[in-house]
Structure 1
Amino acid sequence: MDKKKFSIKSIPGWAVMLGIFGILYLTGLHTEAIGQVQRLLLATGIKNADVPETLQNPDATAVVEASAAAGSPMAGAGFKMVDLNGKQVNFESLKGKVVFMNIWATWCPPCVAEMPNIQKLYEKVGSDKITFVMLSVDEGGMEKVKKFIDKKGFTFPVYMPASQFPQEFYSNAIPTTFIISPEGKIVAKQEGMADYDTKEVREFLQGMAKK
């Protein structure tokens, strides 16, 4: 009886993919690999961030501003964060600025995929009236997050929660991004990854910062 010789070609494609993913998972590289694929998706422009209609509608913008001026408390009031140097920051201290807040984690491939375009946005907006809060929800401790950020060379401000998470910032997805007006109101919320390094997002942030 003839015995068939073993050949790589005889291995089913699904088994090869399963083996590759298994190796990536065991070596901890699966997050990066998936993130790279999703980064290519973002590069197509298919997942650009949604910009609120108020950007193109001055009347709607006026309504938002009038509502915000009513004196209600800032979103996330009472929330405390700690930066990667161990300094505690009260979220309310950011009132008066436009806040771009992104909730992420090192183990989240979509988070890893969108972070380079957030870094580019951070570098381009160029205003001390716009602040970034990259809020990590990792449970592995600050050193893990700091090591990740240093490795990537990101320079945007990174924080970790130092108190109970505000209900306003709860989401069914990660990453989730919020844009908060100088008056402390959430004016935009994006669940899932997106490309924020766009003309529309920059103009939206800068427009609110000038008011």
Structure 2
Amino acid sequence: MNKFKLALKKIPGWAITLLLVGILYTTGLHTEAIGQVQRLLLATGLKKADVPETSSATIAEENPTAGAAEMVGSGFKITSMDGETIDFGSLKGKVVFMNIWATWCPPCIAEMPNIQHLYDQVSSDKIAFVMLSVDEGGKEKVQKFIRRKGYTFPVYMPANQLPQEFYANAIPTTFIISPEGKIVAKQEGMAEYDTPEVREYLSKLAETD
């Protein structure tokens, strides 16, 4: 045993680190590990999501033609984990919180717990959550991930080409869409969404319909 301990001490630190990284990548756990580290960053409160002013008057001024504009992403279709295909345009009239993510994306994994808590706090028939996975290779991987994590928010995958309005330089990217079908907030990169500001903004936006 002493010889074994002595042999371990002679192994350079960089070699042990390289071995651990190799194991994480081989087992696919590196995404989870990095995600957990980034989740700790979110817990500091330094990455809170930015939302516009939350007064009803301000929101009403930003949407003076309620019901007249075409829904952003018109013609885009999404498929639920149950296999139901939905026309994105059918969500017009609701506040839409749409998060574009993937199972291989550590920042996506990092922010998901706070999105789940936000969903638990504000979910209603006037607010629709669209957790849009852009994973390739079918929905089985996505379903397995969601079940393992115990998330209950609605998860979808694109059924056709992602509209240009939803293109972003990185994932995760989150859009908040007004009941009139207009993008009123966009956040590229991970953020903390389970905040009083975001909850109030979503609720106020839902009241203007």
Equivalent in the alignment of 1:47: 47
Equivalent in the alignment of 1:34: 34
Equivalent in the alignment of 2:71: 74
Whether 1:169 aligns to 2:160 is no
Q: Secondary structure at the match of 1:182?
A: coil
Q: Quick one: distance in 2 between partners of 1:158 and 1:143?
A: 12
**1:21 shift after superposition:** 1.1
Structure 2 matches for 1:77-156, cutoff 5 A? 77-156=74-153
Equivalent in the alignment of 2:183: 186
Aligned pair count reads: 204
Q: Quick one: distance in 2 between partners of 1:134 and 1:86?
A: 15
Equivalent in the alignment of 1:64: 62
**1:6 shift after superposition:** 6.5
Q: So what's the TM-score if we normalise by structure 1? A: 0.91
- Name the Cα RMSD after superposition: 1.7
Structure 1 unaligned runs (5+)? Answer: none
Q: Secondary structure at the match of 1:78?
A: coil
Q: Quick one: distance in 2 between partners of 1:135 and 1:186?
A: 16
Q: So what's the TM-score if we normalise by structure 2? A: 0.92
Deviation per CA, 1:142-167: give whole Å up to 9, x if none: 11100110111000000000011100
Provide runs of 4+ in structure 1 moved above 3 Å: 5-15
Letter in 1 for 2:73: G
Identical columns (%): 70
